[in-house]
Copies of this chain bind each other. A is one copy, B any other.
Amino acid sequence: MNSTVASMRQDPDSTGSGTRLPTTAYALLGLLSFGRELSGYELKQFSDSTLRFYWSSPAMSQIYSELGRLLDHGLVDSREVDGPGSRTTTKYRINDAGLAELRGWLVTSEAEFPVLKHSVALRLLLAHLVDPGSVEAMLKTYDEQLTERRRDLAAILDGITDDETFRFPAYVAQWGLDYYAAEKRTVRRILRDLNE
Is there contact, CB below 8 Å, between A23 and B119? Answer: yes
Top-5 shortest CB links A-B: A182-B182, A54-B118, A54-B121, A114-B118, A115-B117
Q: Of the candidates B27, B114, B123, B169, which one forms a contact with A106 in the assembled complex, judged by CB atoms under 8 Å apart?
A: B123
Looking at A102, A125, A142, A145, the one whose CB has the most chain B CB atoms below 10 A away is: A125
Bound CA span A183–B186, Å: 14
CA distance A194 to B178 in the complex (A): 17
Which A122-145 residues have C-beta < 8 A from chain B? 122-130, 134, 138, 141-142, 145
Mind listing 8 A-B residue pairs with CB under 8 Å?
A: A30-B129, A33-B129, A53-B116, A102-B126, A106-B134, A113-B142, A125-B168, A175-B190
Q: How far is the CA of A138 from the CA of B167 in the complex (A)?
A: 18
Query: How near does chain B come to A10, taking the closest CB pair, in angstroms?
Result: 26
Q: Does A163 sit at the interface, judged by CB under 8 A? A: no
Oligomeric state, in number of copies?
2
In Å, the complex CA distance between A39 and B152 comes to 45
- The verdict on A155 contacting chain B, using a C-beta distance below 8 Å, is no
Most chain B CB inside 10 Å of its own CB: which residue of A54, A165, A167: A54
- The proximity string for A residues 144-167 relative to B, scoring 1 for CB distances below 8 Å and 0 otherwise, is 010001000000000000000101
Give the distance to chain B from A16, nearest Cβ to Cβ, in Å: 14
